[in-house]
A = this chain, B = another copy of it.
Amino acid sequence: MATKASIFRTIAHSRKTCRRFQPGRIIPQATLQDILQSTIRSPSSFNLQPSQIILVQSQPVKDDLSEHAMIGIGNQYRTRQASAVAVFLSDLEPSKRINKVYQLEKEHRHPNYRATMPLATSFLIGEGHAATLIKGIATQFLSAVQPMPDVEPVLSWSYKNTSLLAQSFVYAAESHDLATAMMEGFDPRRVKEILRIPDRYAVPLVVATGYEYEEESETEPTPRLNISEVVFEDTFGREWKHSNDESASS
């Protein structure tokens, strides 16, 4: 117990954005396999798993991304020199997954859950602007009477699920002493063109993964807001009574 907690603490506190990777190194396949197996265990709404990952290891494809799609010299270098570039995709038509997940879940779930899943997912996801608008009005009206789910835009809903996966990937990589850099500085249209990604998907994040260049390994972690500024107790704005001043320096 103590071991698990202290080791996760080490992973969480030592993870940082890698500024420079050692070029030309290959991540062992067993390591990648282990990272991906942990990654796909991340939770998702209704277990719909609306995310895919493209793992770019081929140098010409990395060079192509670096030269034509990445923004900023730092991201261009990282993309070229990282051992693997994990491109995270968010499905914008997640209702197309319902049947597949339903089959997968058949053995696992209570019949009541399975009976309500298609209904619940079609209500919550709200693909399509007209449907969203109509449901939005109904929801706002009914919310005064009974609790109603919000109609989230599918992009936000899908990003949310994919980010859970991306954070899992980063911790799994860190647990193998690999360095990572989550990047948002890229042109998604160009990423989609180079990697032949269908329109159905958005690209919220790209994670460069590899071995940190040794001279960089001494950089300090970036600062964070104090825990008292981030965490409230019971209601908004009320300071968490057990917070202290250690967070800024730890």
Contact = CB atoms under 8 A, between A and B. Distances in A.
Interface of A is mostly: mixed
B41 A147 contact: no
Contacts of A184: 45, 124, 149
A234 interface: yes
Copies, count: 2
A141 to B, nearest CB: 11
A202 to B, nearest CB: 8
A224 to B, nearest CB: 5
A57 interface: yes
B58 A187 contact: no
Interface in A143-200: 143, 147-150, 152-153, 155-156, 159-164, 166-168, 170-172, 174-177, 182, 184-190, 195-198
Given A17-B43, A34-B5, A233-B54, A104 B223 contact: yes
B17 A54 contact: no
Interface stretch (A6-14, A127-135, A210-218): A6-14
Given A70-B147, A156-B204, A230-B53, A108 B220 contact: yes
Given A45-B184, A227-B36, A153 B156 contact: yes
Contact of A182 (B3, B43, B61): B43
Contacts of A244: 33
B105 A69 contact: no
A119 interface: no
Interface of A: 1, 3-5, 7-13, 15, 17, 29, 31-34, 36-43, 45, 47, 49, 51-58, 61, 68-71, 89, 100-101, 104-105, 107-109, 124, 140, 143, 147-150, 152-153, 155-156, 159-164, 166-168, 170-172, 174-177, 182, 184-190, 195-198, 201, 204-205, 220-225, 227, 230-237, 240, 242-244, 246-247, 250
13 contacts: A1-B176, A8-B11, A8-B171, A12-B168, A32-B242, A36-B230, A40-B224, A40-B227, A53-B230, A89-B236, A148-B187, A164-B164, A164-B182
